[in-house]
A and B are shown apart, each in its own frame.
Chain A
Amino acid sequence: MTGKVRQRAQLGMAMFLLAEGVFFFLLILAFVYFRAPANLSLQAGSINTALLLASSVSMWRATVYKSAGSRLWLAVTIAFGAAFLIGQAIESLRLIRNGVTMSQGLFGTTFFTLTGIHALHVFAGLVGLAIVPATGLRIMAFYWYFFIILWLAIFLVVYVWSAR
């Protein structure tokens, strides 16, 4: 990729993530606004958060290494990301079995909308990481880091702040 093309792709991705940031800010704000009583396991949330944070380290390694090493670290990143999604699914199933659903109350409404749409973006990220050509890896990494940082914000608000 020439410098100009990379500059354009980076700026385009930055603008896209800015729009995503506004979108998620408002969904988080809706969660905060309702302050619905939660019944969450901080332990499960922390494990999931750790998985995602670990994927940020492997993502960084993937952008540093050349070809073969890079592919390996990329696979590790995808594995961590997939583990995060599985953890999220287990967490959601636990809640649903306890009767916490989208339609059961405001906690379910705000929690599932916020974490569900975040999970969709992580899933899209996994697909992106799986198919991205080496030249576009840094741009995908940008996307990946953004949704990790976003998850930290969601974790702090949903798991830590609302459980206080």
Chain B
Amino acid sequence: MSAWLCAIDHKRIGILYMLSALLFFLAGGMEAMVMRAQLAAPNLKLITPEIYNQMFTMHGTTMIFLVAMPILTGFGVYMVPLMIGANEMALPRLGSLSFWLQFFGGVLLYFSFATGAAPDAGWFSYAPLTEEAFSPGTGLDYWALALLMITGGSVGSAINLIVTIATARAPGMTMRLVPLFVWTTLVASVMIVFALPALAASLVMLLSDRLLHAHFLDSSQGGAPLLWQHYFWIFGHPEVYIVVLPAFGMISEIIPVFSRKPIFGYPFVATSTVAIAFLSYGVWAHHMFAVALGRNFLAVFAAASMLIAVPTGMKIFSWVATMWGGAIRFTTAMLFAVAFLLEFTVGGLSGVAFAAVPVDWQMTDTYFVVAHIHYVLFGGTVFAVLAAVHYWFPKLSGRLLDEKLGRWSFWLIVLGFNNTFFVQHFLGLLGMPRRVYTYPDLPWFGTLNLFSTVGAAVLVFGILLFCANIAMSLFFGTQAGDDPWNAWTLEWAAPSPPLLQNFAEIPEVRSRRPLWDRKHPEAPDWMGAQ
């Protein structure tokens, strides 16, 4: 027990991140199910409006800050040293500090339930609703303090990953040779360093107002509620890419291995990641099109937002081209990766639609937004993470996940996810606003909402099956061996699970597929490169 509490080994900390993310994922999922139950039929009154507000606030905050970020950090902390041929993170004790800050931030957030007043102003908590005069309870204080702790933890782990990738690579592994998951994790970490402080600045203003009676966001005293929106989204839009770029990296590892081809256009995948990072800092106001910001201002932000589709589209093209003509093996990991391509593209397309200002004006704050964000974050990030769990579980545990159970959970999750969220596009187009606790019996509203709720129940069943698969395979799964997928990156050269010292001797790297070189001394990759 104390070995885990005091762990500074990157593999243990990585697993702690993953378990903590799973715990909060189940909590956030329960909050979602409470909402779906309340929305199952028109005019239902299962819970009070106050509880409903707490549910959507806690669901959003949990899924972004306590699930998406930590699970990606967890994979980063576990996998990056293995993938770059290092035995540990560069700053091991900072790794431990970062995790516990993150975890206790989550505990603090959930402690607000015990005080009887969970935060209820939505995950982006717009002023002036969050001001003391309009939200007098302590819920938002917990929210802001918890997020400050989580900010500290996130920045700490990002710094650790940056320093590790910069200084701990195996001999010969230049930045042109690192695996793409390492590239995307590096870019996301740099983005955390630049973006999370904007959240911290927003939270400091909010807390000053609430606890010290300052007037940053208080228009009655000359303050500016709009300042919150600007600062929050200067953090908030890069945040979207912070939680999706490492997912892109996972997909870029998995698709080549199960297509038996190297990634198509490695330099394009890496540079388009950097391009997305730069662009993401110039698009925050597209969350604020409904604010009267001026026509030229809107035009610039609309154009910049559409521009992001170009580097993102390049990635989709690279993945499809990698599969093209490959000898594809549809393992559960590969199924999730292919589903990611389809689902994320749907979310990307509705995103491009939103970048057009008039479309946004029509659809903002409707269920179309809810559908869009879930296709990006669930169809994108969560599907990629599920693919990554199936891909890397043998390395973490030494055992394979059960493929049959895996397939069942895959189809239930795909079916449940699309049933839940696809119809929400239509609900949004019909004009159903998000964040309302119930709705009148308008044509189609009841039917589509019931369909969505049934889909959510199927999704929950699929997720539980996935959890059962993990629990069972941990004890009864087939022994995996070091390299069950015949893969090419260095983590598969270490034992499964890796010993405290990952590599008995640090491997030398001469190409992007060091394990291929080792397995095929007659035709190593670096021969062609020279």
Closest A residue by C-beta to B91:
A12
Give Cα distance in the complex from A113 to B155, angstroms.
22
| Minimum distance in angstroms from A38 CB to a CB of chain B | 14
Contact of A106 among B90, B162, B200, B221 (CB under 8 A): B221
* Chain A residues with a Cβ closer than 8 Å to the other chain, count: 29
B512 to chain A, nearest CB (A): 25
Question: Is residue B198 within 8 Å, beta carbon to beta carbon, of the partner chain?
Answer: yes
Selecting from B206-214, B248-256, B397-405, B470-478, the interface stretch reads B206-214
Is B51 interfacial (CB 8 A cutoff)?
Answer: no
Interface on chain B toward A: helix, strand, loop, or mixed SS? Answer: helix
Whether a CB of chain A sits under 8 angstroms from the CB of B227 is yes
Contact status A103-B159, CB under 8 Å: no
Instruction: Please determine whether B223 and A22 come into contact, CB atoms closer than 8 angstroms.
Output: no
Knowing A12-B90, A12-B160 are in contact, say whether A103-B197 is a contact too (CB < 8 A).
no
Nearest-CB distance from B387 to chain A (Å)? 30
Partner of B227, one of A11, A12, A30, A113: A30
A109 B197 Cβ-Cβ under 8 A = no
The answer to whether residues A30 and B216 also contact, given A15-B163, A22-B197, A23-B200 and a CB cut-off of 8 A, is: yes
Complexed CA–CA distance, A33 and B91 (Å) = 38
Q: How large is the interface on B (under 10, 10 to 19, 20 to 34, 35 or more residues)?
A: 20 to 34
The residues in B between 165 and 194 inclusive whose CB is less than 8 angstroms from any CB of A are 166-167, 193-194
Q: Is A18 close to B, CB under 8 A?
A: yes
Given the known inter-chain contacts A15-B163, A18-B194, please indicate yes or no for A103 contacting B215, CB distance below 8 A. Answer: yes
Mark A110-136 against chain B: 1 for CB-CB distance below 8 A, else 0.
101100010000000000000000000
Give, as a whole number of angstroms, the nearest-CB distance from A83 to chain B.
Answer: 26
CA distance A95 to B265 in the complex (A): 62
Expressed in whole angstroms, the Cα–Cα distance for A34 and B231 within the complex equals 15
- The answer to whether B373 has its CB under 8 Å from any CB of chain A is no
* B231 nearest CB neighbor, chain A only: A26
Does A113 lie within 8 Å of B204, measured CB to CB?
yes
Measured between beta carbons, the chain A residues less than 8 angstroms from B94 are 12
**Interface flag for B224 (CB, 8 Å):** yes
A53 to B162, CA, bound (A): 32
The reply on B440 being an interface residue by CB < 8 A is no
| Known contacts A103-B212, A103-B215; A15 and B162 CB within 8 A of each other | yes
Q: Is the CB of A109 within 8 A of B208?
A: yes
Residue among B90, B214, B224 making CB contact with A102, cutoff 8 Å: B214
* Given A8-B91, A11-B163, A105-B215, 7 additional A-B pairs, CB 8 A: A8-B163, A12-B163, A18-B193, A23-B198, A102-B208, A106-B215, A109-B215
Using a CB–CB cutoff of 8 Å, the interface residues on chain B facing chain A are: 90-91, 94, 155, 158-160, 162-163, 166-167, 193-194, 196-198, 200-201, 204-205, 208, 212-216, 221-224, 227, 231, 234
> What are the 4 A-B residue pairs with the smallest beta carbon separation, nearest first?
A103-B213, A23-B197, A26-B201, A109-B214
Give me 14 A-to-B residue pairs in the complex whose CB atoms sit less than 8 angstroms apart, sorted by A's number.
A4-B167, A8-B90, A9-B91, A11-B166, A15-B162, A16-B159, A18-B193, A22-B198, A26-B231, A33-B227, A34-B224, A105-B222, A106-B221, A106-B222
